[in-house]
Amino acid sequence: MIQFHNVTYAYESDQPVLKNLSFEIVPGESVGLIGANGAGKSTRMKLLLGLLTGFSGEILAGGIPVTKENLKEIRKQIGFVLQNSDNQMFMPTVYEDMMFGPLNYMLTRDEAEQRVDAVLKKLDMEYLKHRHNHKISGGEKRMAAIATVLAMEPEIILMDEPTSALDPYNRRIVINTIRELPQTKLIASHDLDMIYDTCDRVILLSKGTLAADGPADTVLRDRELLEAHRLELPFRFA
């Protein structure tokens, strides 16, 4: 479903952020992407969406090469929960934001609204439906951004720090929702307890290279490995 083959990318020519990175994620997998700040987690997601270009190697999503010509088809498959919700919510209300994607995918208004209502109910956030985005809290905006992506029902979901700014109650709702999603998921986060709760597999990036790739229960229990790459054990194992 997601393939990186010898991918190298640099913001500046002499400082690559990713170096000969290769991995594959099969359909239905839930994979956690971890690493210290600057390891290349967000960069990898932006490359997959075509938000960054100029890489060497090959990236595929659903078997389709990530090229300028294929971006429209690629982005139909992928939903992206951005780290900063303010960069994702651009309509006046939560409802209008959630309707935008389904309507642009040619659903009828009734079909789109049914989908929106189902997602709001699942996330226990019907009360936000007609709230203005500039009048809700950071945590509520994060929940709304996640709801907007889920309403599009993409085949692949990318999440960049999905539990940041959430209180414990909403964090638990998001974790339970992620667990139940059948889509292929790639989740980048410093919240290693959340990664443990939602992902079967973990990829550890360090200075743009693949430092580890294995079962979440193995990687996230390895104190020596994590500390060698400027990470701490999840709280449950500390």
Residues 190 and 162 sit within 8 Å (Cβ to Cβ): no
Q: Which residue has the tokens 């974790």?
A: 175
Query: Residue holding tokens 């429209």?
Result: 72
CATH for 143: 3.40.50.300
Judge whether 233 and 226 are in contact, CB under 8 Å.
Answer: yes
Whether the per-residue pLDDT at 106 is higher than 90: the answer is: no
* Residue 211 φ/ψ, nearest 5 degrees: -90, -30
pLDDT tens, position by position, 185-195: 999 999 999 99
The structure's pTM equals 0.89
Q: How many domains in the chain?
A: 1
DSSP state of 132: B
Q: What pLDDT, in 10s, does the model give residues 28-80?
A: 999 999 999 888 888 988 999 999 989 999 999 989 999 999 998 898 899 99
Q: What is the DSSP string of 93-126?
A: BHHHHHHHHHHHTT--HHHHHHHHHHHHHHTT-G
pLDDT in tens, 112-157: 999 999 999 988 899 999 999 988 888 888 889 889 999 999 999 9
DSSP 76: H
Q: How far apart are CA 173 and CA 48, in angstroms?
A: 27
β-pairing, 30-34 with 184-188?
parallel
Domain that holds residue 131: 2-237
192 vs 169, more confident:
192
